[in-house]
Amino acid sequence: MKVNWSGVMPAVTTKFTDDDKLDMKMFKVNIDAQVEAGVNGIVLGGTLGEASTLNDDEKRVLIEETVQIVQGKVPVVINIAEQTTKGAVEAAHKAEKYGAHGLMMLPPMRYKSTDFETVQYFKTIAKNTDLPIMIYNNPVDYKIEVTLDMFEEMLVHDNIEAVKESTRDISNVTRIRNRFGNRLNILCGVDTLALESIAAGADGWVAGLVCAFPEETVAICNLVKAGRMNEALEIYRWFMPLLELDISPQLVQNIKLAEVGTGLGTEYVREPRLPLQGSERLRVQSIIDEGLKTRPSLPNYKSL
């Protein structure tokens, strides 16, 4: 199945039971809601999916079960975040074997690779898989920036098709478009910059709060692309306090608490993460409660 790197692609949370096993029943509830809302793909095992805590067998189950749930309606993408090039190549091979349709790839974990090393890392993986790749460019959180010159070197590999643009610099959307035209699809990776990025020419949005609010997220994206900016802005302004829950070290806990509020998840996280406590929990819950109380009516965004 071809990956169309555009529209909304949720970076879904991984659902756990109270005894720390995968909760595939609740996971299906969420994935069904995403597909019904009109997303363009499902991204598994990212930061929001608690990737660093998942073992290989759990990743296999997530890929295989998601492919079964979506029934060919949207592609399934798995995140790869490994410490070694060899490990990343092996992860790519396993993803392909288990039925994933594409890869989202971070630079090497823990070691801060040089520009040359980073390019060689991505190129080695690209030439060892047939799956299409979206490079996750997030120097704020992962301390390695993939520059335009680096992309120039990597794009000799046709299966490097997209970038999850998380530099926090919206003008980078224009720089990428000016340099590469439509050769590289651009998806915003920061919830609080999504509308602006799509308006600047990004193809889509790898979203976080979509996990709890899929319809509102897809509506914003579709309305901006249709030129109905005022309608998109009205929803976006309502959404902003919730979207800001994504730009936090506790984004997983925040978004899972929001999923509880909309009936699309549970609060269980995998240690060392723990559910929110005390005043911070009250603060986040108040934002969620206000969002639910003032939730906007949506236009018929699916027909745009």
**For the chain, what is the radius of gyration of the CA atoms?**
18
pLDDT at 177: 98
Q: Which domains does the chain have, with CATH numbers?
A: 7-303 (3.20.20.70)
Quote the pLDDT of residue 110: 87
Q: Dihedral (C-alpha) 57, 58, 59, 64: value to the nearest 10 degrees?
A: 90
The three-state secondary structure class of 136 is strand
* Among 111, 1, 9, 133, CA closest to 67: 1
pLDDT of residue 141: 87
Q: How many CB atoms lie within 10 A of CB 112?
A: 11
pLDDT by position in tens, the chain (length 304): 999 999 999 999 999 999 999 999 999 999 999 999 999 999 999 999 999 999 999 999 999 999 999 999 999 999 999 999 999 999 999 999 999 999 999 999 989 999 999 999 999 999 999 999 999 999 998 899 999 999 999 999 999 999 999 999 999 999 999 999 999 999 999 999 999 999 999 999 999 999 999 999 999 999 999 999 999 999 999 999 999 999 999 999 999 999 999 999 999 999 999 999 999 999 999 999 999 999 999 999 999 9
The pLDDT score that the predictor gives to residue 180 is: 98
The 10 Å Cβ neighbour count of residue 302 is 13
Q: What is the Cα–Cα distance from 222 to 229, expressed in whole angstroms?
A: 10
